[in-house]
Structures are given as C-alpha cells and as structure tokens.
Amino acid sequence: MQKIELMAPAGNFESMQAALDNGADSIYFGVEQLNMRARASINFTLEDLQEISDRCNAKNVRTYLTLNTIVYDHDLSIVKTLIQKAKDADITAVIAMDQAVIASARAIGMEVHISTQINITNIETAKFYAMFADTIVLSRELSLRQVKKITEQIEKDDVRGPSGKLLEVEIFGHGALCMAVSGKCYMSLHSHNSSANRGACKQNCRKKYTVIDQETGFEMELDNEYIMSPKDLCTIDFLDEIEDAGIKVLKIEGRGRAPEYVARVIKCYREAIDEIEAGTYTKEKVIGWMQELEKVYNRGFWSGYYLGQKLGEWSKGSGSHATQKKVYLGKGMHYFPKPKIGEFKIEAYDVNVGDTILITGPTTGAKEMKVSEMYVNDLSGEKAQKGDSVTIPLEFRIRPSDKLYKIVENKVEA
C-alpha cells in the first residue's frame, strides 16, 4: 500500500521551510488574493513562485497552488495569469473549486486537485471530477466509513484522472474546523461584508453569542457559550484507520499559523505515518505526539466527523489552548560558520542557559533548541538581558532577518 502523502500548509517562507525541514511530502500555498486564506496569511506573490518551486523541488516536495475561492468575471484574467505563471515555474498542481479555474488549468495541461469546497460526498461525483482532476479532497463532513466506501469503489471501478493514474483521495487530517459545510459560510459576509468564500473570513463564529427568543424575550441557556466554534481536528490517534480507509493524501490545515506550529505538527504526523509503515505505531507513542501537538496553537482536539460520533465538539473559550507560548527576545545579527556560533541582539525579555529558544526566518524555518551555553557581551554568562549581545553555539546558519524567541509554559484556563 502506498504511504500516505503528508501535505503541509505554507503561509510564508518561514512556514514553508519548517515544513521542508520536518518531513512534508508536499506543501500548499496561496498567491495574492484568490485563495481561502487571502486575509489570514501573508501570502506569496507571483515573483515568489520560482523560489517556492526551486526550494521544494530540491527536496522532492510537491507544490500545490490554492486557487479555490469563488471567482467573478473580473478575476478571470488574473486566474489565467496565475495558472500560466505556476506552470512556467514548475508548480505541481492547482487546487480549485470553480469550473473556470479547472478549465483554465486543464487547457494548458496543469494538474488539478479538487478542493473540499466542491463538497464531494459520493462515488458518482468523484467519477465526474476524475475527468478533470487526479486528486479530490472529500467533504469534511464524511465519516471514515463513508470515505472508505468511496476509495474502495474507485479501485473497483478503476476510476482514473487525466494522468492515467488511479484517482487519489485526500482528506483533512489536522487543524481548524469550520462550523459551515466544508467551509462554505456567509456569516462573515452578512456581518462584515467580508466573504469567507473569497478568503476573507472574519471568524466571528469564534466569539460568544447570546441566543434570545424574539417573541418572548427568553434568553437561552447554553452549556457552552462558544456553540459555533468547533475544537480543532486531530487524527493522529487513529491514523492507522485513515490509512486503512485508502486515503492517499493527508492535509494539515494552518496557512495562518506560525512556523513553529507547522514544524511541530508536521514532525508529529511524519513520525506517526512512518511508524505505521514500520509496524511500530502504538498507543504509547500517540500519547507522546498528543502532548507535543498540545504545545502549539489549538482550540482543543476532537476527531471531527470521521468516527461517526456526536456532531460537533465545541471550544470552551476563545483563542488557543496551547500549553506553550513564545516570547520575543531579539533578532539575528551574524553567523560564524567555522566555530558554528550565532550572534543575537536581545531587544526584549531575558534568556538564560537552560532555556528553550525558537529561531525563525524565511530560510531558517523554525528551529527549536535548548541553550547549553552562551557568551554575553563577549564574556561567558548564564543570563542575557535587553540590550545585550549574545552568542550561542548553533549547528545551523542564522541570518539578520531571523527572529529569536523564548519558549515558556502557557497557563490555560480549564
């Protein structure tokens, strides 16, 4: 059986490098405004396409350009330009939901993947889109049993995409879940004239609301005030069942997340997929991965709709439940390659020998390590404060654009 392809989110170069360093098989990213994270992430530009392709191809990592928003007539010109530029830069495929985007990509021989926004929930719809695409992302609302039925029927009926290969099925494996059907929601549009379906969701569903009966004025008492804010999806504890369901691509959500989020989540799922392949995937290892995943941004975890449990587990508060957080310390200044030492300028907070630090940057990605020793203003020291110059032994190169953080425990209200 083919090993599951692990697809990582890339909202910027830092996150992309974090994905490459931690074992992603593919990345997906947006350019300019026509993607479902047009506002939530920094997004790349047309000029970045070649660098994205070059850096990923060097590691044999596939690249997917997201063009999966609603498209209007005035968008068609930029759509065609984006797709052509992506093909010229050797980007692997386009993720699409609008038929105009699909047709434009197919017209120039660009590989197409069908977005979850299409809402594919049955084998006949899968067969229809196989005429245009080699990979389909199924609806997020399906159970694993329903998913398996579709993948089995694809094999039985020998359903193939334009490439001639058997149609691949992709599902979401980890990250934020939307209360709306496969993310198609108009709440943000109604409240802020900012369309989620154009990549500009305001996430107002994540707030507290009071529900009042207009006729009687009765105020409903809800068990959870965040009734429209689902917990984050996590599948690492039943990843073996996902592989058994015939899934070929596991997509990690999070183009709006920080690079350390991408690094840790991809690292955990990489290990889990490899352990399944080696036959060494165990409950004990799952517990360790869950503890690691809890350290970065999350709203609490649940299994989504895959296991057929009750529909909806809601977050108990706004924001993150992460057990750790980063605190800004300063910026990179210089790297001395022979002694392998990095120099930083401390601009805030303090850092001590024994602390866990995080270094992020467009080329560095997200590197986390413990400070074993350091020099403060050219003298051996145990503590550096604001204004100090500090040097730390590093096995990797840092650059002036890099940022230095300290990782500290984060107290989360129960």
Distance between CA atoms of 272 and 160, rounded to whole angstroms?
29
Number of other CB atoms surrounding residue 76 within 10 Å:
14
Q: What percent of the chain has pLDDT over 70?
A: 83
Kindly give, in sequence order, each residue whose CB lies less than 8 Å from that of residue 373, ignoring residues fewer than 6 positions away. Answer: 353, 380, 392, 393
Model pLDDT for residues 361-380, shown as the tens digit of each residue: 999 999 999 999 999 999 99
pLDDT of residue 184: 61
Query: Looking at 98-238, which runs of residues are DSSP E strands?
Result: 111-114, 135-137, 168-175, 232-234
DSSP alpha helix (H) spans, 69-170: 76-88, 99-107, 123-129, 144-156
Residues of the chain where predicted confidence (pLDDT) is lower than 50 = 414
pLDDT of residue 141: 86
Q: Evaluate if pTM is beyond 0.75.
A: yes
pLDDT of residue 102: 97
pLDDT of residue 8: 98
Model pLDDT for residues 14-46, shown as the tens digit of each residue: 999 999 999 999 999 999 777 555 555 567 999
pLDDT of residue 283: 94
Kindly give, in sequence order, each residue whose CB lies less than 8 Å from that of residue 260, ignoring residues fewer than 6 positions away. Answer: 18, 296, 326, 358, 360, 366, 368
Packing angle of the helix pair 13-21, 259-278 (nearest 10 deg): 20
Structure tokens at 7: 């697809």
66, 69, 74, 80: CA torsion to nearest 10 = 30
